[in-house]
Amino acid sequence: MKIHTFPQGSEQWEQIRKGKATASRFKDILAPKTLKLSKSAENYAAELVAERLEIESPQFAPTYWMQYGMEAEDYAIAEFEHTNNLTVQRVGFVELNEHCGCSPDGLVGDTELIEVKCPKPETLIRYQINGQLPDEYRLQVQGSLWITGRTHCHFYAWHPQIHPMHIVVCRDDEVIAALESAIPAFLESVKVMQQCIQSRPASPEFQFVDTSEELV
């Protein structure tokens, strides 16, 4: 395991993630509820092949709520630290190996990490009513625990006008075992798929339209 401390969202962060299976996308490899192969697995594998071959794709602008989530994260972590008297060590990317890793929002002490979400108000209200880790983040959280070797994750969902949702999630041996089996097999499928594809230089007359600077 190797921990990189450059900021998430930086050019270095983007480059080191390229072509790797990341915990935030483990839900595209396994279905969160059944832990069976996801219907999205083949498409995700193809996406990683394109990244490994450095095939350019259009850059899409973040939505308003994606941008809000990125900007609100610092406020959420500051409140988490103050409320719980804990210190969060920010990290960029944690590599399990050259083909797999995760980007936890921070490390807490020697055995914990934190995953912060800053959703729409109606989404956070739904989380509060359900009172448990949302299914869509089950594999991200467990995947980060697996990769970092840590035992607990603080799942912290935050909005400036709603009391935050704070759940401490323990390692789930069943999920970890499923990941330990599925991720290497998935990465092997990516390797086989890559061997079947031949890239070529793009025509100099063709350019993708870059909308990444526009806020939609």
Residue 60 lies in a domain: yes
Per-residue pLDDT of the chain (216 residues; tens, 9 = 90+): 999 999 998 999 999 999 999 999 999 999 999 999 999 999 999 999 999 998 877 666 667 767 777 788 999 999 999 999 999 999 999 999 999 999 999 999 999 999 999 999 999 999 999 999 999 999 999 999 999 999 999 999 999 999 999 999 999 999 999 999 999 999 999 999 999 987 777 667 666 666 555 544
H or E element, residue 61 = none
Residue 51 lies inside a defined structural domain of this protein? yes
Nearest alpha-carbon partner for 138 in 106, 163, 174: 174
The answer to whether residue 207 is domain-embedded is no
In a domain, 216, yes or no: no
Q: What is the CATH classification number for the domain harbouring 120?
A: 3.90.320.10
Query: Is 170 inside a domain boundary?
Result: yes
Q: Name the DSSP letter for residue 25.
A: G
For residue 204, tell me if it sits in a domain.
no
Domain range for 141: 2-195
Residue 26 belongs to some domain of the structure: yes
Place of tokens 């739904």: 126
Neighbours of 33 (CB within 10 A): 8
pTM: 0.89
Is there a domain that residue 206 lies in?
no
Number of domains in the chain: 1
d(C-alpha 98, C-alpha 21), whole Å: 10
Structure tokens at 61: 């602008």
